[in-house]
């Protein structure tokens, strides 16, 4: 690793992204924090800027031109990006596919697939310049591996994250740049609140009576991946709480 480590985190205003910003800051990494909610970014900068250099970018990852320009305009002190955390993403519409608005499907595709591609394409040159030790961590989901009712486009988009990560590994062979698909299971963040469009009761019910993962749990996994020896690459990590597992196949009966 080079001395001045810099991490760029998308979706940094809540959940995994916000927790990762705090974990990396505590270790002395400079931060590039991206998100759509400027007020939250400013609060993070005010807090974490007392520890490390913090550059914030109000960014919608779906806007490819804006993403490209923001990366091109990075100040010199954070332009040597060591680690990219592609965390921006969301799930919508937990109803069965036949009941879902097309707009919700399109939003998930635009954010989870196109947004990931936009940021990766813009940041990849910086990772290549950094060379050995540079790391890309793409936040997938167990939904990208295991189907469940109501996952439809969300699960498909996370399957894209996994396969895109694997394919990047092939293309980046010999460059020193590492790529990991980090796939969490159930975690207590704003995820379900967003998915249900603000239904607090539904969110509370999902996590009640069990012990889900926390944002901190996943942030610590990100830091572990980013600080591995330069010659090591973890292709895929699937992290579930002990109290979550699989169920038998569903069967339709008369």
- Active site residues per annotation: 154
CA distance 93 to 79: 37
Count the alpha carbons within 13 Å of 85 in the hemisphere toward its beta carbon: 32
- Residue 153 near residue 108 (C-beta atoms within 8 A): yes
- Residue 82 near residue 1 (C-beta atoms within 8 A): yes
Q: What is the dihedral of CA 11, 13, 15, 17, to 10 degrees?
A: 50
Specify burial of residue 123 (Cβ count, 10 A radius: 0-12, 13-18, 19+). buried
- Other C-beta atoms closer than 10 Å to the C-beta of 101 total 11
DSSP line for 19-31 = HHHHHHHHTT-EE
CA distance 20 to 31: 10
CA distance 2 to 254: 64
Please list, in sequence order, all residues whose beta carbon lies within 8 angstroms of the beta carbon of residue 25, skipping any fewer than 6 positions away. Answer: 31, 48, 51, 52, 54
With CA atoms as reference, report the closest residue to 141 among 160, 166, 116, 123.
160
- Residue 32 near residue 8 (C-beta atoms within 8 A): yes
């Amino acid at each position: 690793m080079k001395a001045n480590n810099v991490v760029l985190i998308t979706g940094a205003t809540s959940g995994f992204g916000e927790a990762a910003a705090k974990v990396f800051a505590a270790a002395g990494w400079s931060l590039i924090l991206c998100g759509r909610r400027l007020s939250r970014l400013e609060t993070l900068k005010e807090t974490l800027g007392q520890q490390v250099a913090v550059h914030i970018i109000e960014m919608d990852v779906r806007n490819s031109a804006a993403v490209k320009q923001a990366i091109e305009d990075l100040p010199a002190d954070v332009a040597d990006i060591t680690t990219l955390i592609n965390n921006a993403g969301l799930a919508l519409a937990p109803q069965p596919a036949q009941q879902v608005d097309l707009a919700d499907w399109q939003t998930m595709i635009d954010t989870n697939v196109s947004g990931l591609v936009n940021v990766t394409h813009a940041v990849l040159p910086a990772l290549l310049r950094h060379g050995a030790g540079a790391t890309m961590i793409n936040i997938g989901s167990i939904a990208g591996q295991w189907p469940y009712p109501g996952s439809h486009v969300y699960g498909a988009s996370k399957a894209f994250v996994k396969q895109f990560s694997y394919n990047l590994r092939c293309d980046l062979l010999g460059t020193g740049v590492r790529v990991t698909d980090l796939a969490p299971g159930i975690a207590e963040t704003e995820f379900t609140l967003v998915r249900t469009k603000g239904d607090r009761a539904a969110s509370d019910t999902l996590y009640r009576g069990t012990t889900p993962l926390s944002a901190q749990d996943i942030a610590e996994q990100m830091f572990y991946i980013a600080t591995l020896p330069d010659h090591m690459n973890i292709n895929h990590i699937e992290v579930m709480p002990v109290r979550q597992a699989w169920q038998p196949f569903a069967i339709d009966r008369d």
